[in-house]
Structure 1
């Protein structure tokens, strides 16, 4: 039996799934240029492409953090039956 913190595992898997969905969605909407564009349109296109790359990077970070949470969940153990420690007072 593997000791796993199920809440952290579920959160990590959810983050990975959301990140993958975002990467697929963002990659599908990459703005494309056309021939005969004016200089202002080219600048707007370059800005839109840079924003798209930045969103893709953020979605990749979300996947990475989710993966780290999955890994952490295998090492996280809950302490259920912890005995209360009583401190002994020094004799006066």
Structure 2
């Protein structure tokens, strides 16, 4: 089976980093409380939006890493010493 180890290791690294970020961001969801002022509500909404945006970016990182892992199993390396194939014309 042909596996490109550089692409595979890069994909696994991206999977790990994306997964760790997803777990961390999902554990740090901002929480509101009762009797909040308007400024506190606005600040909470901004923090929630930032958390959601960072979670989206971490999900994209995880997805790209997964795609790299899949691509690494089908990647073929070119042989440096191999000659270029040329088509031969049939003799007329």
Do Structure 1 and Structure 2 share a fold, with TM-score over 0.5?
A: yes
2: CA distance, partners of 1:65 / 1:85: 34
Per-residue CA deviation, residues 50-85 of structure 1 (Å, 9 max, x unaligned), is 100000000000011001101111111111232257
Runs of 4+ in 1 over 4 A off after TM superposition: none
CA distance in 2, matches of 1:34, 1:6: 50
Could you tell me the TM-score, scaled by structure 2's length? Answer: 0.86
Alignment-derived partner of residue 82 in structure 2: 82
Structure 1, gaps ≥5 residues long: 87-92
